[in-house]
Amino acid sequence: MDMTYDVKFWKTSVYAGKKKTTYTVRWELEGKEWRKPFGTGALADSFRAGLVSAARKGEAFSLSTGLPVSHLSRAAGVTWYDFAIQFVDQLWERTSGNNRKIVAKALTPVTIALLRSQPTAFKGVDVRRALREYAFNTLRRDQAPPEIAVILRWVQRNSLAMAAWEDESTVEMALRAAGTKLDGTPVAASSVRRTKRVLNVLFEYAIQKKVLQENPLPKGKGTTAAKTSSAVDKRSLLNKEQASKLLGWVYSRPRGGQRLHTFFAAMYYAGARPEEVVAIDVGDVRLPDADADDQWGELLLHTAHPEVGKQWTNTGEVREERGLKGRAADDSRTVPCRPGLTRILRAHIEKEGLKPGDLLMQGEKGGDLAGSVIRRAWRRARKEVLTSYEFGTPLGRRVYDLRHTCLTNWLNAGVPAATVAEWAGNSVPVLLATYARCIDGQLDDLKYRIEQAGELPDPAASGS
């Protein structure tokens, strides 16, 4: 454990402020100063007497908390590194691959911050990779290459105890580290929020296991994370002409172009998420007969194949099979298939010779359509079709912007928000928070409705 007998005590300092006087007990462990403030001199003297008494009895002091053994909680008996691994392992079987990856990414910078000294013998990028890809991966930890194992053993030896979280300055330092990239630049505000969510769950587990007595993360005024916006950037939305040119270019690709065109068309016309489109079964595509007057069909969505990386799935596949986002495992939703998409899907099914039970969207060799193939084709289409100025803007920068465009088009066409939310697999509040800024084209009608409610009488006209 991180203990020392090198203890020195200083006089209690007294600070007389305008509103109250603070009494701070000060002591030193191996050259590092520790402080603990109190509201009264009696409390400060009592605490200091306890420290001095422990030193005289020959008790060791913790380098993580500054306290003698007799003052320590169970948190002093386990290191942060070991407890973080325990937390990851108990969470592994009941979480998705994507959540496993999020947890590993969140714990990595915090673990580096909670080291007695920084790992100068190793490259920072190698330490982060060792923690993220191996230490916090239950399936791969024992498969770490020798050079990774050396790093992890060093981290384990130098990790502070869980008791370090009982020191406010350590908490602040760890949170700063979680919000900083390896190059010193800040991470996205959404990443900071995800890290705090992971830490909150970890500390709840620590309290349950009686390792900590309370959640050390700061609460209340002044602790709000950086603001994040879920609203869609209006600049990312495609107009009809732009979408037509992009999908047309994809269709003309000599290798797999028509297959990819079908994928992008399903996102543009049906607003499904990428992981939902790749999971559609041909049997869940309800199309009318080719000679029917009404060419509207339906897509029944009930499964998603998110791409999380083979190191995070139980099967070793790049994608894993999950239920729909934000819904019960066996839930489903129906999305209308407009005539334009009906024609595309019917031609695709006939050309590929697909039947119920087959995936609607497949790779060249069968199986799931690879995310790398999808993203590469979309990037190339943007580069070939858009002007140099448009290419440098957010216009259609992500494949997901096809979904954003579809949902915005539905709202602008006057489809009720509740209906759009049901088709999209969102709640109404989330839908409106995301797309309210993009709703357009209805202002004249709204002005007319407001005017129809009538005006107040003109005081001048009434003679008053």
Which sign does the torsion angle of CA 144, 146, 151, 154 carry?
positive
pLDDT at 197: 94
Other Cβ atoms less than 10 A from the Cβ of 109: the count is 24
Place of tokens 């791409």: 307
Q: What was the pLDDT predicted at 214?
A: 87
pLDDT tens digits, residue range 286-319? 999 999 999 999 999 999 999 999 999 888 888 9
Gap between the Cα atoms of 409 and 385, Å rounded: 22
Walking along the chain (464 residues) 10 residues at a time, the average pLDDT comes out as 85 89 93 90 91 92 82 78 96 92 95 90 93 95 94 94 86 89 83 92 93 83 51 91 96 92 96 95 95 95 92 89 83 94 96 94 88 95 96 95 95 92 93 82 66 76 60
Q: Name 249's Cβ contacts closer than 8 Å, sequence gap at least 6.
A: 381, 384, 385
449: left (phi over 0), alpha (psi -120 to 50) or beta: alpha
Instruction: Give the model's pLDDT for residue 222.
Output: 43
Q: What pLDDT score was predicted for residue 441?
A: 58
Task: Indicate the SS3 state at residue 262.
Answer: helix
The torsion angles phi and psi of 337, rounded to 5 degrees, stand at -115, 105
The reported pLDDT for the residue numbered 409 is 92
Q: How far is CA 266 from CA 24, 178, 320, 383, in A?
A: 66, 38, 21, 22
